[in-house]
Amino acid sequence: MRLSCLQENLSKGLAIVGRAAASRSTLPITNNVLLSTDEGRLKLSATNLEMAVSCWIGAKVEEEGATTVPAKLLTDFVATLPNDKIEIALSAKKIMTLKCRRFEARMTGVDAKDFPPIPKVEGGVSVKIDVNEFKKGIARVVFAAATDESRPVLTGINAEFDGGVLTLAAADGFRLAVYKMALAEPASQKVKAIIPSKTLSEVSRLITDGEETIGITVDSQKSQILFRLKNIELVSQLLQGSFPQYNQIIPQSHTTRSVIEVAQFLMAAKTAQIFARDGGGIVRLIMTPGGGKAPGRLSITARSEEIGDDQAELDAAVSGEESKIAFNGKYLLDVLSVLSEDQVALEVTGPSSPGVLRPVGTDNYVHVVMPMFVQW
């Protein structure tokens, strides 16, 4: 193998695939990155056996070939080189030499034949979606996925492709987030897949401003999924199992509805969480309807026996009866932090029923939070 490419391009490419390389593994070669020539370009690939990322960069290829070298070693070295042309050559003894201006390094490689094959996702169902909408959808659900491995399906995001709509849902037993978005290219048939939350977080990171659409393919066995961007492909294993029937969890009615400014609600939730951290995470909310010309209000309190307490009052358009509910402060902060709308509606039925948050002006996102049982 003999080729040359720009330091800037190689450094960017290694940063893209490097996170997929295993840091600790029983299979040492998964700590490596695969470099191979592919139709006049340099292809970089890395895998941890659950997820694989490939990236293509421009290169002047003089001699075809492939090798693998430690991902961290190569990434760290290339990142320190000057922004100039890098010449890469592979000897018969599998020693890879890199030259850039007056810098030169040699790295011992492992035969590319020993590298785990990158899965090819063919057949199945393929769709296309606007990247900005997809990134927004990931941000609004991924934090609600479970981190506890006791129920593996809950560590994933349930993706349902149905006609021209993609629905993403995440739940961890204490909260539920559901986001619907339009597909740029509809699905030929209805299909469900549980995508690891780490995979979707990585896809979101890989999306850049220059992209317009992202291609998604779920294979016919529903065991793997492929995300295709301009010069990047990510293949991931899918989680097997049945995702809970989450529609049954979403309350269909409410006795009190409060509409609050998101920025003020977020600020009050942040200050409450400072005290709630030492008070079991409990944040209490009291919704009081207005009377006459007086606006309704939302009272947010948190207290810790050792530190003190905090209270904030916000103007709110409250319809229905006065109501109380308590949430885990972190769950409230998580959802308010991802909203870009000006206002949010909080719908409750009582202190022992789930609370529902919906952005005002859109009907494609709903967030359900289970209440905490407290002494009032």
Asked if 326 and 355 touch (Cβ cutoff 8 Å), the reply is no
| pLDDT confidence of residue 131 | 94
Whole-angstrom distance, CA of residue 7 vs CA of residue 83: 5
Whole-angstrom distance, CA of residue 38 vs CA of residue 58: 10
Asked if 267 and 261 touch (Cβ cutoff 8 Å), the reply is no
Closest CA to 166 of 146, 153, 152, 185: 185
- The number of beta carbons lying within 10 Å of the beta carbon of residue 221 is 10
What domains appear along the chain, each with residue ranges and CATH number?
Answer: 2-114 (3.10.150.10), 125-247 (3.10.150.10), 251-369 (3.10.150.10)
Asked if 54 and 43 touch (Cβ cutoff 8 Å), the reply is yes
3-state secondary structure of 152: helix
| pLDDT confidence of residue 292 | 73
Closest CA to 4 of 40, 33, 34, 32: 40
344: Cβ contacts below 8 Å, ≥ 6 apart: 259, 260, 262, 265, 336, 357, 358, 359, 360
Quick: pLDDT tens for 120-136.
Answer: 998 889 999 999 999 99
* Greatest distance between any 2 Cα atoms in the chain: 87
Which parts of the chain have pLDDT scores under 50? none
Whole-angstrom distance, CA of residue 353 vs CA of residue 355: 7
| pLDDT confidence of residue 22 | 82
Whole-angstrom distance, CA of residue 13 vs CA of residue 6: 11
195: Cβ contacts below 8 Å, ≥ 6 apart: 156, 157, 159, 225, 236, 238, 239
Terminal C-alpha separation, the chain: 72
Quick: pLDDT tens for 255-283.
Answer: 999 999 999 999 999 999 999 988 789 99
| pLDDT confidence of residue 290 | 85
| pLDDT confidence of residue 12 | 96
Rounded to 5°, the CA angle 115-117-118 comes to: 120
Closest CA to 43 of 76, 10, 89, 84: 10
Asked if 105 and 77 touch (Cβ cutoff 8 Å), the reply is yes
Q: Answer whether 0.85 is exceeded by the pTM.
A: yes
152 φ, ψ (degrees, to nearest 5): -55, -35
355: Cβ contacts below 8 Å, ≥ 6 apart: 325, 327, 346, 347, 348, 368, 369, 371
